[in-house]
């Protein structure tokens, strides 16, 4: 892992997660563990409405945590509308210590690395059933209330799991913008590292 990212990870691991939240996360832990135990591929598709902030954070941190703990998992993200990976969220990921390269101007495609030799995580706004996302059984991890309540059926998913987060968008263009994006990113990081720390390979 890159040096600055290691510092962020250390901070994430030290974050307190209350018992109610751990109970919610247990559903995701159990799903991953079931797949690992049966030697099936583990695919997680993190879904929110615009695939611009929370689902992107979740995909990136989950893939990073899985690699950190040597758990073989493929993480994806998608939405119900196509917008763009929000530039404020991208900036937060960079502040966390990820290496980010981008191409394109409208809905840019970002290649995100957590180490020198890691396969880049491809991040851009897309529908949950975009061609780059899994068609085989996967867990649909719903990261926002709107998508969770308005997408009653996700084709090909074999489990639907609600892991909702508050939207940092509420603080856009405010003095708290950077702090709130980093706070949400760190919360998601702490929970994804907690999840994968529980998995026995």
Number of domains in the chain: 1
- Residue 151: the pLDDT is 65
Cβ neighbours for 25, distance < 8 A, ≥ 6 positions apart: 17, 163, 191, 194, 195
Predicted confidence at residue 136, as pLDDT, reads 86
Q: pTM (2 decimals)?
A: 0.96
Per-10-residue mean pLDDT of the chain, 201 residues long, equals: 97 97 98 97 96 97 98 96 96 98 94 97 96 93 79 81 95 98 98 98 85
Half-sphere exposure of 181 (CA within 13 A, CB side): 23
Domain assignment of residue 8, given as a range: 3-197
How many helices (H) does the chain have, and how many strands (E)?
Answer: 6, 7
| pLDDT at residue 89, as a whole number | 98
| CA 136/CA 180 separation, integer angstroms | 35
- On whether the CB atoms of residues 120 and 75 are closer than 8 A, the answer is no
Question: Which domain CATH number covers 182?
Answer: 3.40.50.2300
């Amino acid at each position: 892992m890159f040096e600055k990212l290691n510092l962020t990870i250390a901070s994430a691991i030290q974050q307190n997660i209350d018992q109610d939240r751990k109970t919610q996360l247990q559903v995701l832990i159990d799903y991953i563990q079931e797949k690992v135990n049966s030697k099936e591929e583990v695919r997680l598709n993190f879904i929110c409405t615009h695939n611009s902030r929370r689902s992107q954070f979740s995909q990136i941190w989950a893939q990073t945590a899985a690699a950190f703990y040597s758990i073989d998992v493929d993480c994806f993200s998608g939405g119900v509308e196509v917008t763009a990976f929000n530039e404020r969220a991208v900036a937060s990921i960079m502040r966390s210590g990820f290496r980010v390269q981008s191409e394109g101007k409208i809905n840019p495609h970002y290649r995100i690395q957590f180490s020198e030799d890691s396969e880049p995580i491809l991040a851009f706004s897309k529908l949950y059933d975009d061609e780059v996302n899994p068609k085989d059984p996967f867990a649909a991890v719903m990261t926002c209330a709107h998508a969770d309540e308005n997408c009653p059926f996700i084709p090909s998913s074999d489990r639907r799991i609600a892991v909702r987060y508050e939207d940092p968008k509420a603080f856009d263009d405010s003095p708290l913008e950077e702090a709130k994006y980093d706070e949400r990113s760190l919360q998601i990081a702490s929970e994804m590292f907690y999840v994968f720390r529980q998995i026995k390979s």
